[in-house]
Every structure is written in C-alpha cells, then in structure tokens.
C-alpha cells in the first residue's frame, strides 16, 4: 500500500497533548522540557485513506516535530537538522513522500538547500494552499458581486511562496495589485513587480510596492505572513473588504471577527471526499484537513514523487495542476462562507 509521512509541528505544549493519548497524562513541567529538547518521533499511523477517484487507498504516518521556531542563525540550523532527521525517519519507515505542516513548511519554502539533499521527496503544500486562497477569493467575490477586473488586491508578505503564487495568479484577474513584505525582502518584491505585468499583458494590471498601509484602500487583502508574531491592523481595513487569512496559524481569522463589516475567509483548508478519523485534535471540523496534508496525499496517489512545493518561486502552472489532481480525487477547497454552487 502506498505510504506517505506528514510532519506535524505543535507550537505549544497544549497542542502537543493533542497528538497522542499517552502524552496527555505526562506532567506539564516534564512536557515543557520535552517540548524544547526532543527530536522528531512517530506518533501514529492512519490506514485505508480513501481517494474519491480511482486510486487505491493509501496509508500514512505522522511525525511530531517539537518547537522549531527560532530567530537566530543557530536556532535555524538546529531546526533544519530536526527536519532532516524527520525525513530520515520517514524514509526508513517506508514513506514515499514527506509533507511538511505548520512552521516546518516555512523552512522548506525559504529555500534551505539541505532539504533538497534528503533521499525522500518533500513538499510544503504551499501550491495547494495558494490555490485554496485564490479559489476562496474568487468564490467570495462572486457572492459579494465584486468585479475582480476592477478590484485592488493587497498581498501582505508577497515574498513568501503563497504570497508570490497568489500575486502572480491574480495578475490575470485584478486591476491593481499592491505587494507588501518585510523591508529586507523588498528586492524580491521588485522582481515580482517586473514579472507580474508580463504574465497577462492584456489585462494591464498595475503593480505597486507599499507598506502595510496599502490595505486601507484595498478591496481584497491576502494575509500570508509566516512570522509568528506578525499582526495586521484590523482597524485599518475599510468596510466591505474581503480578508483572506492564508497564514500558517490562521489566528487572524479569529481576531478579525471583531469587524462585522468585513468578510473573512480562511485559506488552506480542504474537504476530503470521505471523512477519516485522524486521531488528533486539529480544531477543524470532521473531514477538513490542511492543504499541506492534502497535497501530500494527492501527490502520493498520482505518483508525483518529487520535490513539489519547494522554495519561494514555485512554477505557477503547478497551481492549475494540483487543482486538477484534487478534482480527480474528490478534494474540494473548503470555504463555508462561499459554497460551491
């Protein structure tokens, strides 16, 4: 039976308890030490995962990778070593592909060459997550009767893999795109500013680089910031704005509920054709999984066993490809606020 591995990254002790029945009974002070110092380990396997298409069922096992968030060079190196260790575990356990979830995916997306040295294919899920953001916006714009061809889209952290994919994809739909990112990444935004108009020259899309203040006059705001402490000033959004939360944590979705005059949609959530018990508390409804996990499963079924979503300049054609693969297997982008009609 085809097998995948998926890397789970709990960001605190509370989340760690959700990943194993036995961990729940370990005293908190021991878990805190464990959380900081331990290396990856397998928590459980899931068997007979059904495809909604013709592919045979698959199985997968989940590897827990405790805290890897760091801001110093040393901490980043240690995080990469732990991810490589998880890749080795996956390979030795017979997995054909490794999917990276949570903040672990960000190390992959930032172009660390060490990931490419693994002997098992790796994907971050950024391609399917970006497609989910695009589809969520497209469906919500229809519901709100917003003409995308006249819209202004602001993308926060457009230099990220998801932000870059969304900005390039939307160049064929929006009238104006404003790119925003951290100051040290402005050179990447300038590259995007040059590339985007060439993708769909017939649309005449205007591309600008600006600070976070750009959200004040945007019709659509995509928040794809990966930094844990990053925030968006919700009060700066104008009424009737569509806010797409494409961040790793999705924490902005809850914060934005204080604004009743804007529409908030969360990207990166996928509805699978047949609900499967994953034995972890993801905080998501039954049958809903992260796009990174969905992409891992889909690539396994399709036999696309190569590094798929890697780096920050993912081929735009992959968005259409993963969307087509998902359709064949009965996967859907989950946007309850804008159901598929």
Helix, strand, coil abundance in the chain, percent, nearest 5 = 40, 20, 40
Would you state the pLDDT for residue 276? Answer: 72
**Residue 46 · residue 62 · CB < 8 Å:** yes
**Residue 58 · residue 4 · CB < 8 Å:** yes
Would you state the pLDDT for residue 163? Answer: 92
Give the span between the Cα atoms of 199 and 220, in whole angstroms. Answer: 20
Give the span between the Cα atoms of 292 and 282, in whole angstroms. Answer: 13
Give the span between the Cα atoms of 159 and 169, in whole angstroms. Answer: 14
Residues of the chain with pLDDT under 50: 69-74, 111, 229
Would you state the pLDDT for residue 229? Answer: 46
Would you state the pLDDT for residue 111? Answer: 47
Give the span between the Cα atoms of 101 and 290, in whole angstroms. Answer: 8
pLDDT digits (tens, 9 = 90+) for 279-336: 666 678 888 999 999 999 999 999 999 889 887 778 999 999 999 999 999 999 999 8
**Residue 270 · residue 326 · CB < 8 Å:** yes
Q: Which domains does the chain have, with CATH numbers?
A: 3-126+270-332 (no CATH), 130-269 (3.40.50.720)
Would you state the pLDDT for residue 205? Answer: 92
Question: In this structure, what are the phi and psi dihedrals at residue 88, rounded to the nearest 5 degrees?
Answer: -65, -40
**Residue 52 · residue 274 · CB < 8 Å:** yes
């Amino acid at each position: 039976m085809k097998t995948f591995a998926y890397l789970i990254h709990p960001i605190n002790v509370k989340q760690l308890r959700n990943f194993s029945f036995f961990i729940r009974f370990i005293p908190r002070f021991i878990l805190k030490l464990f959380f900081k110092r331990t290396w990856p380990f397998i928590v459980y396997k899931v068997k007979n995962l059904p495809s909604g298409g013709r592919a045979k069922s698959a199985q997968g096992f989940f590897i827990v990778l405790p805290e890897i968030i760091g801001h110093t060079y040393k901490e980043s190196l240690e995080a990469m070593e732990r991810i490589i260790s998880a890749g080795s575990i996956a390979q030795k356990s017979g997995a054909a592909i490794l999917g990276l979830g949570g903040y672990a995916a960000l190390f992959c997306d930032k172009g660390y060459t060490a990931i490419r040295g693994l002997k098992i294919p790796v994907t971050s899920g950024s391609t399917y997550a970006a497609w989910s953001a695009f589809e969520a916006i497209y469906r919500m714009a229809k519901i709100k009767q917003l003409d995308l061809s006249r819209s202004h889209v602001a993308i926060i952290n457009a230099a990220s893999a998801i932000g870059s994919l969304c900005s390039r994809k939307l160049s064929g739909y929006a009238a104006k795109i404003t790119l925003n990112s951290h100051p040290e990444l402005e050179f990447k935004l300038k590259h995007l500013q040059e590339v985007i108009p060439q993708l769909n020259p017939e649309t005449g899309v205007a591309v600008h680089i600006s600070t976070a203040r750009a959200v004040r006059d945007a019709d659509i705001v995509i928040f794809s910031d990966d930094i844990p402490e990053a925030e968006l000033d919700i009060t700066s959004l104008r009424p009737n704005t569509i806010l797409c939360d494409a961040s790793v944590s999705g924490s902005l979705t809850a914060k934005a509920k204080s604004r009743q005059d804007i529409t908030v949609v969360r990207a990166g959530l996928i509805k699978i054709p047949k609900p499967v018990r994953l034995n972890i508390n993801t905080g998501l409804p039954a049958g809903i999984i992260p796009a990174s996990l969905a992409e891992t499963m889909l690539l396994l079924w399709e036999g696309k066993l190569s590094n798929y979503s890697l780096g920050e300049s993912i081929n735009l054609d992959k968005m259409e490809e993963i969307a087509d693969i998902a359709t064949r297997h009965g996967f859907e982008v989950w946007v309850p606020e804008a159901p598929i009609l």
